[in-house]
Structure 1
Amino acid sequence: MKHLPLLAGLFGCLPFSAWAIELAPTTIDGQSSSEPGLALDQSSGMASRLGLSVRETPASISIAKRNDIERRGAKTFQDALNTLPGVNATAPPGFGGFISYRGFTSSQITQMFNGINVAAGLTRPVDAWMYDRVELVGGPSSLINGAGSVGGSLNYVTKLATREEQAAEGRLSYGSYDTAGIAFGLNHALTEPAAEVQHYARLDVSRNTNHSYIDRQQREAWSVAFSLLSDLTPDLSHTLALEYQDEHEDSPYWGTPVLNPKGGELKIDKHNRFNNYNVADGRYEQRTIWARSIIDYRIDDRTSLRNTLYHLDSQRDYRNLETYQYNADNSLVNRSTAYQVRHQGEQNGNQFELRHENTLFGLATTWSAGFEYKVNSTTNSPLNVSGKSTVDPHHYDPGHFYDIPQTRPGFIKDKTNEVTTQALFVENHLSLTDKLSLLSGLRYDAIELDVTNHRMATASNPRHSTRRWEPTTGRIGLTYQFIPTANIYVQYSTAAEQPTTTTQVFDVSTGKQWEVGSKFDYLEGRGSATVAAYRIERKDFAVTDPQDPTRSIPVGAQSSRGIELASSLQVTPRLLAEGNFAWVDAEYDDFNEKIANGAVVSRKGNTPTNVPKRVANLWLTYDFSSDWQGGVDARYVASVYADNANTLTVPAYALYGTFVTYKVDQHTSVTGRVRNLTNEVYAQFAHVSPAYYLGSPRTFEVAVQSRF
């Protein structure tokens, strides 16, 4: 909280006319967010600050709209992510919200909430009920989102108050493993239509509980979001948005050990795959509070401003026994790595932007410029002991954490990392002809990392240390609309990312991408499609050690190339077909890794861990009548490597699902859904120990949803 006065002062110093961008929330031109399709005429959201549509922006952009989220049965925003081209997302506890996309993983994929870049640990999946849409931009996008983003950027957009007089919706669900959910949302006008000042409020609440397919694991999560939209004048509005999230897991699942010998395709004992080798009082807890103040001001028909002041406070607690391996003859499981840690984080910031439409040499042009200031502070308090024990997988007592030697209740601070970012950015869209347009932009960041050591100072770990970086990134792209329903584009973009610690001497990493693509409608508008081909190169960065997620490993260079396809087609008035496919070839171009015996081995030419070469999705939805709708879906994820040496693999998998919905009346519907129809045994995530983080077996769910 210590930075709030400074930010408030910064906010207050702005002239009154500098508070804001358009009064209404993001609008859609030509296509409703409730309609199926690729939404090519919807605002590109975070892909540009210029208000361009997806079609007009020379970049690969995918959006999971609210209707897509509901029709495809996404329970969390991470489920919604996995519907987007090329994305493979999961949430193993020690890795937070893990994303693989375009050959890159972890921090190389920026994850934002409402356009705000946050710490990776805050990206564990939250109930999808709270979100209006999920946006994806492929490749380097530091211009828009700041440091990072070499593989791409994701943005989770929360529902906000709208100018509807009154709207209410609710959902009840129950399914396998006592999975239960209750959620409701209410949007209401607080003033009479004739009032000089108009106020609209929205409240969303969701609660989810389940006992999990893993033995002893139980989860409970709450999410609450409130927003107040105030039209102070016809040209000035203010939105106050508050969010609270609380998640608690008992005995979190940390993975299933693989059988010996380890080599080639890794295997597990399927009879014991649901065993939980964590201690009985293992836990994961997270509490997050968001506050945003958004002021939109329209100066005139061509000029508008937006200012967003925000505060984020979070706390995450872990207390688990995390590593499990079979002994030589696979008769016993050796447990180790007793780890207790508290992560306390606070982020305060201000984003200001101006948009102006004008002409340049007689050509229509739109400008966007602004600045960003933010301070992100994270304090870690870890306790790590060996915690070695051996159990019989067929019969064992999980034990308790504080019975492990050298463990103790309470937290002792280790380090505080404070990152201060000041940035300036400018973006321009220029219509060169009625068919050809140019999009360009630059961003300058001044980033300072300040590390405070709360424990005993040493020569290698001083009491205080700082580092500073000043990267400049940008993007330039051309779009040619050769017919009204189809275009082609070419784009070049760059990215930069600072390391997160001063104890390991890493410089700022850099990335660049060339991309060509096309966005078009076909069959008289019944279908729409996108295609993109790209090459990304990255230098001087760090990756998470697959054997120890608390460490980073320096990498000299990495590259990827790939193709992404997506399409939506109304085959008949009753049949809708949607799908996407992504192929990527990713490899280390320069990477020397130190292995267990101290030797240094080159990993040049190897594929990074947890990067599937192919990812595909397909959905078929059929309206049997005005009251009945049904559908089937399929998802394919290719095999991945579990180690940098590429000697251990986890097999590919295919998942199938189906649903049927009955519309009781104009307000209420009932949906039955089956996930993983074939009861596939598969790993969502792989690392050396444990090697399998299992996905869910076959599950059933019934949900009732109403809108008024």
Structure 2
Amino acid sequence: MKTRFHLQPRRLALALGCALGAWHLQAQADAPATTIPTVEITATAPRANGLLNLDTPSDTASRLGLSPRETPASVTVVDRALIEVRGAQDTQEILRAIPGVTAHDAPGSIGVSYRGFGSGSVSQLFNGINVQYSIAARPVDSWIVDRVEAIGGPSSFLFGSGAVGGSINYVTKLAVEREFSEGRLRLGTDALKEASVGLNRRVGDGHYARIDLNHRDGDSWVDGVERRATQLAVSLRSDFGRGVTHTLAYEFQQEDVDRPYWGTPYLNPVGGKLRIDEGTRFKNFNAADGVYDQRVQWLRSIGAWKVNDALQFTNTFYVYDALRDYRNVETYRFNPSNTAVNRSGVLLQRHDQTLVGDRIDGVYRGRIGERRSDWAFGVDFSINRQTRYPNSPVTTVATVDPYHFVTEHFFDLPNVRPGFRPDRDNEVKTTALYVENRTALLPTLNLVTALRHERIALDLVNRREVTATAPAKFSRSYNPTTGRLGLVWDVTPGMNLYAQYATAADPPSGVLSTASFGDVLTNNELTTGRQAEVGAKGDFWQGKGTATVAAYHITRKNIATPDPERGGVTFLVGEQSAQGVELSLGLQPTKRLALQGNVTWVDAEYEHYYQGGVSLAGKTPTNTPKTVTNLWLSYAFTPTVQAHVGARRVGKVYADAANTMYWPSYTFVDLGLRWQIDRRLALEARVRNLTDRLYAANVSSAMAYLGAPRTADVALRMAF
């Protein structure tokens, strides 16, 4: 039985909003045309620029419009040109450009590790909006992405709770004031077929409309997996004069995965260095008709008013709506003799989430006496609702031959019936006030500060049987205040030093939008995060080189720890720390040669933490590599032919909190070649994981979620 999505009233409201936007666009198109010159965009290859992007303002690092060079923090901006040079297929491949970040896209637990902390302590934002749910960060094709920005370490003072390890912001393309048309056709291994198009047009005096559309269809390197995905981004930018502009943006994402891959079981004995049988590398033990489906819609209304050169306001109204369905057998283990695989973990699940909010931002550029002093301030209000519908019969489904088997249809399993039964409703209301300032204490010394106060109200409604540990209703409120204090000293015009102290707050066991009664009945606080960081950023070699270095120490307290005496209940006694160093280097020795790389080292460990009544003090959190190294080289053999090489090494990771099982370090290499046929056509070829390295993108106590083997693709880019 294939899942079907149906429009509910609030989804109809979204569709109406999109229709109104389309009507406004058509009205502008019907207006008397004005002849304008067309700005021609060609398929010219992105310039291989090895220098780090230190001077582009980052909205993720500061609302003051500061560049990474001006910000007292480790900031990474991966712009559109870099995305294309690296050949990043989706948002997860873009993340490889951020020092120290690792990620995986397992269907039920999208994982990111940053500065020693996992997804629950890393904010993943969408155009500066936090949906407070890690699964929302499913990989999206890079075609609709304008850039990705990241700030390392605590940053709750910018975007709210949930950012101890850092914040990552995915920014979608919007309409711009020029005309162009572009497209891409791509074919690859595993029956990959992809088509993309982008159009930006003037539709009236002061109005520009843009559409970016991508559709991808293909199989997988794992048996039986089929995936279809569509992304659409539409926007209309209107300039009404006198400093007033408005952008209406709609985004749609649809992903359908048949028989999704959940992992590969380890060989016994399970302990020490983990192993899999290479004969099962491409096997899929899921149900024959397993499903992962998601449909996501965004609607944003962005109004801006530039009062004068010193003062401006922006209002962003946003609506997010997501529906995700799962129908799978998700857990597999070898029997003791490694002759058969036991399959379990039956889950029929639906996640239904809606987020509605409005944010008002202001920026004032002024002076305190003789010194420049810039201010950013604002208020953010949102309502985040999610209902989950889990159905998980406790049963071992079947034991199969690991090499020759046929799996059953999902609804032929015992005790499994079609239909979704709600578990609980989570509603999170957040009201936040923030202020940020940069003041020049001296001509070469700037003080950068920020403060944010939130009032968070969490309401849980039980949709099932009422018990002592699952009451009919329960409410909890939180009032975190977080901030940053930093200094930036411009030692020379091209070199600065900085120091900062920052705080953060995040939920003690995951995110509030999915928090259970056990998470909140006995826990009335958020965790607290503290970071001290020092670093330097600068240019050298007569502008042919750029580099950044950062050293930090982070502590997170009040982590939820399972109560050994009360099942399903947690209490706040845990503490985790991370200290590390990040180094990034960019070189442009000649116009033809570009070199960029980064290396990170982090020592992450539990200071206080218990599991099953056993102390885990001194242990490393799971899926947290101590070292991550990236290196990229680009060389233009001729003005029309460029070659690209990328290498990535990830250190070993532990699969359990007790650190008794680990996956070893691994290295893989990607190759790319681009031929500029003429001004409008370019041909690109990529080989990923050239050496066909077998590696795990994520590990658990039972299985390894393997990374893709060697794959290849070729793409034709067009400007028309």
TM-score (norm 2): 0.90
What is residue 618 of structure 2 aligned with on the other side?
A: 605
1:438 aligns with 2:447: yes
The CA distance in 2 between the partners of 1:395 and 1:473, in whole Å, is 56
1:681 aligns with 2:710: no
The CA distance in 2 between the partners of 1:161 and 1:74, in whole Å, is 22
Q: How does 1:2-151 map to 2 (within 5 A)?
A: 36-96=50-110, 98-118=111-131, 119-151=133-165
What is residue 698 of structure 1 aligned with on the other side?
A: 710
Post-superposition Cα deviations, 1:219-263, rounded to whole Å, max 9, x if no partner, equal 100000100000011400000000000000000001000000011
Look up the equivalent residue of 2:644 and give its one-letter code.
Answer: G
The CA distance in 1 between the partners of 2:357 and 2:624, in whole Å, is 33
User: Which one of the candidate residues 375, 384, 388 is aligned to 1:376?
Assistant: 384
What is residue 28 of structure 1 aligned with on the other side?
A: none
Work out whether residues 3 and 348 of structure 1, in 8 Å CA contact, stay in contact via their aligned partners in 2. Answer: no
What is residue 576 of structure 1 aligned with on the other side?
A: 594
User: Which one of the candidate residues 272, 284, 291 is aligned to 1:283?
Assistant: 291
What is residue 225 of structure 2 aligned with on the other side?
A: 217
What is residue 495 of structure 1 aligned with on the other side?
A: 504
User: Which one of the candidate residues 257, 265, 270 is aligned to 2:273?
Assistant: 265
1:161 aligns with 2:175: yes
Task: Name the SS for the 1:383 alignment partner.
Answer: coil
Post-superposition Cα deviations, 1:377-434, rounded to whole Å, max 9, x if no partner, equal 0000110013411001121111111111110001011101000000000000001111
Look up the equivalent residue of 2:715 and give its one-letter code.
Answer: A
Task: Name the SS for the 2:63 alignment partner.
Answer: coil
The CA distance in 2 between the partners of 1:120 and 1:257, in whole Å, is 24
User: Which one of the candidate residues 450, 460, 480 is aligned to 2:469?
Assistant: 460
User: Which one of the candidate residues 177, 193, 196 is aligned to 1:180?
Assistant: 193
Q: How does 1:188-199 map to 2 (within 5 A)?
A: 188-191=201-204, 195=205, 198-199=206-207
What is residue 543 of structure 2 aligned with on the other side?
A: 525
1:410 aligns with 2:410: no
User: Which one of the candidate residues 248, 257, 271 is aligned to 1:249?
Assistant: 257
The CA distance in 1 between the partners of 2:687 and 2:643, in whole Å, is 12
The CA distance in 1 between the partners of 2:706 and 2:571, in whole Å, is 26
Work out whether residues 48 and 634 of structure 2, in 8 Å CA contact, stay in contact via their aligned partners in 1. Answer: no
The CA distance in 2 between the partners of 1:110 and 1:350, in whole Å, is 19
What is residue 17 of structure 1 aligned with on the other side?
A: none
The CA distance in 2 between the partners of 1:658 and 1:482, in whole Å, is 39
The CA distance in 1 between the partners of 2:231 and 2:274, in whole Å, is 38
Look up the equivalent residue of 1:403 and give its one-letter code.
Answer: D
Q: CA deviation at 1:56?
A: 0.6
Structure 2 vs 1, CA of residues 188 and 532 (structure 1 numbering), >3 Å: closer, same or farther?
A: same
Q: How many residues get paired?
A: 665
Post-superposition Cα deviations, 1:287-343, rounded to whole Å, max 9, x if no partner, equal 001000000100111000000000011000000001100001000000011101000
Structure 2 vs 1, CA of residues 459 and 241 (structure 1 numbering), >3 Å: closer, same or farther?
A: same
Q: CA deviation at 1:130?
A: 0.7
Look up the equivalent residue of 1:161 and give its one-letter code.
Answer: A
What is residue 327 of structure 1 aligned with on the other side?
A: 335
Structure 1, unpaired ranges of 5+: 6-31, 595-599
Q: How does 1:558-707 map to 2 (within 5 A)?
A: 558-594=576-612, 600-690=613-703, 692-707=704-719
TM-score (norm 1): 0.92
The CA distance in 2 between the partners of 1:612 and 1:353, in whole Å, is 38
1:449 aligns with 2:458: yes
What is residue 28 of structure 2 aligned with on the other side?
A: none
The CA distance in 2 between the partners of 1:59 and 1:703, in whole Å, is 37
The CA distance in 1 between the partners of 2:272 and 2:381, in whole Å, is 48
The CA distance in 1 between the partners of 2:489 and 2:156, in whole Å, is 24
The CA distance in 2 between the partners of 1:544 and 1:382, in whole Å, is 21
Look up the equivalent residue of 2:714 and give its one-letter code.
Answer: V
Work out whether residues 619 and 658 of structure 2, in 8 Å CA contact, stay in contact via their aligned partners in 1. Answer: yes
What is residue 212 of structure 2 aligned with on the other side?
A: 204
Q: CA deviation at 1:82?
A: 1.5
The CA distance in 2 between the partners of 1:491 and 1:45, in whole Å, is 18
Task: Name the SS for the 1:161 alignment partner.
Answer: coil
Work out whether residues 291 and 327 of structure 2, in 8 Å CA contact, stay in contact via their aligned partners in 1. Answer: yes
Identity %: 45
1:540 aligns with 2:558: yes
The CA distance in 2 between the partners of 1:431 and 1:95, in whole Å, is 44
The CA distance in 1 between the partners of 2:718 and 2:11, in whole Å, is 43
Task: Name the SS for the 2:390 alignment partner.
Answer: strand
Post-superposition Cα deviations, 1:105-127, rounded to whole Å, max 9, x if no partner, equal 01100000000001222111100
Look up the equivalent residue of 2:328 and give its one-letter code.
Answer: N
The CA distance in 2 between the partners of 1:102 and 1:224, in whole Å, is 33
Q: CA deviation at 1:551?
A: 9.8
Look up the equivalent residue of 1:665 and give its one-letter code.
Answer: D
Look up the equivalent residue of 1:381 and give its one-letter code.
Answer: Y
Q: CA deviation at 1:503?
A: 2.6
CA RMSD of aligned residues (A): 1.8
What is residue 473 of structure 1 aligned with on the other side?
A: 482
The CA distance in 2 between the partners of 1:475 and 1:320, in whole Å, is 44
